[in-house]
Copies of this chain bind each other. A is one copy, B any other.
């Protein structure tokens, strides 16, 4: 077994630097790598390109990095929850590349899977298609999208083992598995870290081969953006 465990957050983010490209898992605030984001925020590095479906909220998630202006460019599909983000974008301080959510997921997977490019119908006839090759398949126009890769991918799982195998909970899975595949160095933080051999080999979502470093995170806030409930009748 190849041991991927690191013992501190410092070791986990070792090697991160200005101007690097990062992928960060999560959908909204669900399944985001809270510990890594906090450490990156405290590291003070800047000029970053961040690939993440969303950009957090003003005071949490990637909002922490935005607030300190560490991010030069965001690659996302939806950024509607973040006023500071919108301000920086409309003022031109922040470069933003908005990508259809399915294309974003597939481009990350492609990056990890050695597929340099693929055709998808998403975005044909829109701004997203500008400058991209268009080709018809079965009478329907498609555009050519390219793979995304990152210097570091930061992902968050529920359970993990020292071999780097990951299991996500509920919808906290989202982009984490594809980003884990696409990072040159993938750093996984988990709520519960087990010795290798304790997780069911058939129930693992991210095989350890995609993970270079793993650690047990702490103090998870796991904020809820839209608390919607019903009352018992």
Using CB atoms and an 8 Å cutoff, list the residues of chain A in contact with chain B.
Answer: 106, 110, 113-121, 135, 137-138, 142, 146, 167-170, 173, 200, 202-203, 205
Q: How many copies does the complex hold?
A: 2
Within 8 Å CB of A146, what residues of B? Answer: 137
With A167-B202, A170-B202 known as contacts, the answer to whether A119 contacts B121 (CB < 8 A) is no
Output the least CB separation between A94 and chain B (Å). 28
In the bound complex, what is the Cα–Cα distance between A146 and B136 (angstroms)? 12
Output the least CB separation between A105 and chain B (Å). 10
In the bound complex, what is the Cα–Cα distance between A200 and B146 (angstroms)? 35
With A169-B202, A202-B170 known as contacts, the answer to whether A137 contacts B117 (CB < 8 A) is yes
Within 8 Å CB of A135, what residues of B? Answer: 117
Output the least CB separation between A81 and chain B (Å). 26
In the bound complex, what is the Cα–Cα distance between A106 and B202 (angstroms)? 21
With A167-B202, A170-B202, A202-B170 known as contacts, the answer to whether A117 contacts B118 (CB < 8 A) is yes
Output the least CB separation between A11 and chain B (Å). 29
Within 8 Å CB of A121, what residues of B? Answer: 114
Within 8 Å CB of A117, what residues of B? Answer: 118-119, 135, 137
In the bound complex, what is the Cα–Cα distance between A173 and B121 (angstroms)? 29
11 contacts between A and B (CB under 8 A): A106-B115, A114-B120, A114-B121, A115-B119, A115-B120, A117-B118, A117-B137, A118-B118, A137-B146, A202-B203, A202-B205
Within 8 Å CB of A119, what residues of B? Answer: 115-118
In the bound complex, what is the Cα–Cα distance between A116 and B141 (angstroms)? 10
Contact (Cβ within 8 A) B120 A137? no
Output the least CB separation between A75 and chain B (Å). 19
Chain B, residue nearest A110 (CB): B118
Within 8 Å CB of A116, what residues of B? Answer: 119, 137-138, 142
